[in-house]
Amino acid sequence: MAPAGAKKGILERLDAGEVVIGDGGFVFALEKRGYVKAGPWTPEAAAEHPEAVRQLHREFLRAGSNVMQTFTFYASDDKLENRGHTQRFTGQQINEAACDLAREVASEGDALVAGGVSQTPSYLSCKSEDDVKTIFKKQIDVFVQKDVDFLIAEYFEHVEEAEWAVQVLKTTGKPVAATLCIGPEGDLNGVSPGDCAVRLVKAGAQIVGINCHFDPETCVKTVKMMKEGVEKAGLKAHYMSQPLAYHTPDCNRQGFIDLPEFPFSLEPRILTRWDMQKYAREAYNAGIRYIGGCCGFEPYHIRALAEELAPERGFLPAGSEKHGTWGSGLDMHTKPWVRARARRDYWEKLKPASGRPFCPSMSVPDGWGITKGHADLMQQKEATSQDQLKSKC
C-alpha cells in the first residue's frame, strides 16, 4: 500500500495520456444486494451497513477501478429529508462515513477518492442560486475535511445547475469533473451537448462528460458532441463517460427513467461483458480517457473495460486472475461444444436471445413533456395520491 500522497493525481494521469477506469453505480448495485431502496435511492447504507459498501468498493477496485467515488449520491440534506429517509443518520454522518470507506479501499490499491455531488430537489423546485449552492457547499465541507483527491459534479439534467455546482466545487482548489445525464438532444432546457460542455469548462471543470440515463453507445456519441463543442470554442478539457449498463436505443430526451421498465424490469437490457469491451474501445477511440460506468454496472462490467484496454495500459486488473480473456476459461469445459465457445469471434458475433418471446425489443418511453418549473415536478413529501394515479392510469 502506497501512501495516498504518492499516487498520481487525476489530472496528472489524464495529462500524461493515461486511461483512468472509473467505478460502477452504487445505488443500483446495492439495491440488488438489499441495502438501497429504489425510489428514494439515498445512500444511508454508508453509515448503516458499511461492510456492504466496503465490499462493493473492493470489488470495483479488484476489477480495475482507479477511482472510488464516495457513496454520497443524493446525500444532500434536502434530498435525504424529502425522500422520507428516517433520520437515524444526519447527512453529515453519511457523507463522512462514505468518505472513510472510499479512502480505506482506495488505499488498498491504485485508486483515488472522488467526492461527488448531484442535482438537487431544490433546483427542480426553483429555489434560488444561493439556496442551491448552499446545499452543495454543505456536502463539500465534508469532502474537504476528509481530503478527497478530486471532486465530481454528476447527474445533472440542467447545465445551469451543473455550472453552479462546479463554481462551488472550484472553491476547494481540487480538480473538478462535471458530467451531465443528457443525450444528443441536449439538456432539459434544450442546450446542446456542445454548448453544455463549453459552459462547464468555462465554469472551471477540467474534465467534462456524461453519466447515467443512456447506454454506452449514446453516451459516447454525446461526449463526442461535447468534445467538438469544446474544441470549436478553442478550449481544452479531458473527457469522461459513465453510462448505464442497460441498452437504451428507444429512449427519448429524458433517458431511461421514462422507459416503462424503469427501474424494476430493466434486466433484459443489461449489457454483456462483450458489449462492455466494445464500449471501452469506442470510448477510447473517441478520445475519452476517463472511462467508467453508472447504474447497472457490476464489477465484471468494469473488469471488461480494463481488459479491453489492457494492451494500451500494459496490465490487467487483479480480478482478471478469475477471468479468461474472450471466453478462454471455457477451453477445458466438460462439454466439447461449450469448449468451442472459447474464442473472441464467437462472442463478438453472437446475438443473444432474450428468452422472452412474448416481449418486444423496444418500448415507447413514458413522459408527459414537462420539465423544471412545472407544478408536477415541485417536490412533495406525501406519497402519490390516488387522484394523481387516477389522472394518468
Q: Looking only at residues 331 through 360 of this chain, which bind its own copies when binding is defined by CB under 8 A? A: 331-343, 346-347, 350-360
Query: Closer to its own copies at the Cβ: 50 or 204?
Result: 50
- Region 56-95 residues binding its own copies, contact defined as CB under 8 A: 58-59, 62-63, 82-84
Q: Which of 51, 130, 234, 314 binds its own copies (CB under 8 A)?
A: 51
List b or e across 185-197, with b for residues whose CB sees 16 or more CB atoms inside 10 angstroms: ebbbeebbbbbbb
State yes or no: cis peptide before 193, omega within 30 of 0: no
Which of 9, 39, 190, 287 is in the footprint of its own copies by CB under 8 A? Answer: 39
**Which of residues 103 and 273 has its CB atom nearest to its own copies in the complex?**
273
> Are 348 and 363 spatial neighbours (Cβ–Cβ below 8 Å)?
no
| Residue selected from 11, 40, 93, 231 as contacting its own copies according to rule CB under 8 A | 40
**127 lies in the site for its own copies, by CB under 8 A:** no
**C-alpha cell of 230?**
469544446
d(CA 69, CA 152): 9
Question: Binding residue for its own copies (CB under 8 A) from 71, 143, 239, 262?
Answer: 262
Specify the stretch interacting with its own copies by CB under 8 A; choose among 13-21, 139-147, 189-197, 319-327: 319-327
**How far apart (Å, rounded) are the C-alpha atoms in residues 334 and 224?**
45
Tell me: does residue 368 bind its own copies (CB under 8 A): yes
- Interface pick for its own copies out of 257, 286, 310, 316 (rule CB under 8 A): 257
Options 4, 8, 11, 37; binder of its own copies; rule CB under 8 A = 37
Joined together, the cell numbers standing for residue 340 give 468451442
User: CB atoms < 10 A from the CB of 206, how many?
Assistant: 20
Inter-CA distances, 79 with 27, 38, 223, 261, 289, Å: 15, 14, 28, 24, 32
Closest contact distance (angstroms) between CB of 229 and its own copies is 24
Tell the smallest beta-carbon distance from residue 296 to its own copies (Å).
10
Q: Is the alpha carbon torsion for 250, 276, 158, 221 positive or negative?
A: negative
38 is a contact residue toward its own copies (CB under 8 A): yes
* Least distance to its own copies, CB of residue 214, Å: 11
- Nearest-approach distance from CB 58 to its own copies, in angstroms: 8
x/- letters, 284..303, toward its own copies (CB under 8 A)? --------------xxx--x
- Is residue 366 involved in binding its own copies (CB under 8 A)? yes
Residue number with CB closer to its own copies (127 or 339): 339
Q: Would you list which residues are annotated within the binding site?
A: 212, 294-295
Tell me, by CB under 8 A, how many residues bind its own copies. 104
Task: State the binding site for Zn(2+).
Answer: 212, 294-295
CB 248 within 8 A of CB 212: no
Residue ranges in 201-220 that form contacts with its own copies under rule CB under 8 A: 215
126 forms part of the interface with its own copies (CB under 8 A): no
Work out which of 9, 190, 249, 373 binds its own copies, going by CB under 8 A. 249
Q: Contact between 330 and its own copies (CB under 8 A)?
A: yes
The residue among 79 and 238 lying less far from its own copies, judged by its C-beta, is 79
Q: Which three cell numbers stand for residue 11?
A: 489530472
